[in-house]
Amino acid sequence: MKRVGLLGAGSWGTALAITLAKNGHDITLWSALEAEVTLLQTHREHIERLPGIKLPENILVTSDLEMACKDMDIIVFSVASPYVRSTAKQSAAHIKEGQIVVNVAKGIEDDSLKTLSEVLKEELPQAEIAVLSGPSHAEEVSKGIPTTVVVGAEKKETATFIQETFMSQMFRVYTSPDIISIELGGALKNVIALAAGMIDGLGFGDNTKAALVTRGIAEITRLGVAMGGNKETFSGLTGMGDLIVTCTSNHSRNHNAGYLIGKGYSMEDAMKEVKQVVEGVYSAKAALKLAREYQVSMPIVEKVNQVLFEGKLAKEATLELLAREPIAEYKELQWKK
């Protein structure tokens, strides 16, 4: 049995807490929102986010940050990406030297263009930072539906320790040293998922969605390789796998927000309607800035930004993508004749 503290009691943090509790670990689930803490303590259920899923008895819910960090084998950062830095600052005094910290949020910090593991390393230099990501909707994980993810860490022994902690019959965990690719895949797929939702909102078909997903992973891979990632990782769970599930599922807040935008909603109204943090909106600007910094072509990301922040209609953006100059699918491939 291990002691695990989870910082962030939204749908994903709660689903992971349930998964870890079922593995027999001692779980402390923290939220900064007193109303959320009261709800979970009183009903033992996240009624709005994960209705019908009861918290096991070995989950302690608290608003005491020190309690959630002290003497833990693993601390999981499960707050939404915009709040990772502020939560790290608040918890820093309670995190010991060599503490294993696992980030499970997906995003890029807009101002600094840092990945979330870089943000945590900056705020928690005493800790050992790892990441966990993959195609894993909280709604399904909380129900014990078979799911597979990957954990990335600098040390193999750290990744293996986390793997053993999270692994179960219904929650399979792989390991990888490729942290940058895992994080970029997880963050940038949210931007492509917004576009996928727009396509569905516009009433386009499967052909259009397949093209978007395929060209979307090509864009993500180009940027990831330019930033030092490995091409192979983007064809795996945190690249293509996460992209497929986020672009096609009604559980996806990014897809759902994009769908509303395709129907004519503004970005602000779509986010209000979804009632959760739409992380792709926060990652879209950062993705475009990184594309320009690394001189990588990302036309889908560029059009998503225009729709979100410049008032371009989703249909107009789609037609502009189709009307671009004809090119080869893969420039690296050589003609025999």
Active site residues: 189
> 219: closest CA among 290, 311, 306?
290
Alpha-carbon span 8 to 184, nearest angstrom: 21
3-state DSSP call for residue 68?
A: helix
Structure tokens at 254: 């990014």
Alpha-carbon span 203 to 16, nearest angstrom: 35
Q: How many CB atoms lie within 10 A of CB 46?
A: 25
DSSP annotation of 234 reads G
Distances (CA, A) of 271 to 11, 108, 126, 277, 294: 17, 18, 36, 7, 30
Helix, strand, coil fractions of the chain, as percent rounded to 5? 55, 15, 35
Helices (H), 98-172: 116-123, 138-141, 156-166
Alpha-carbon span 143 to 7, nearest angstrom: 21
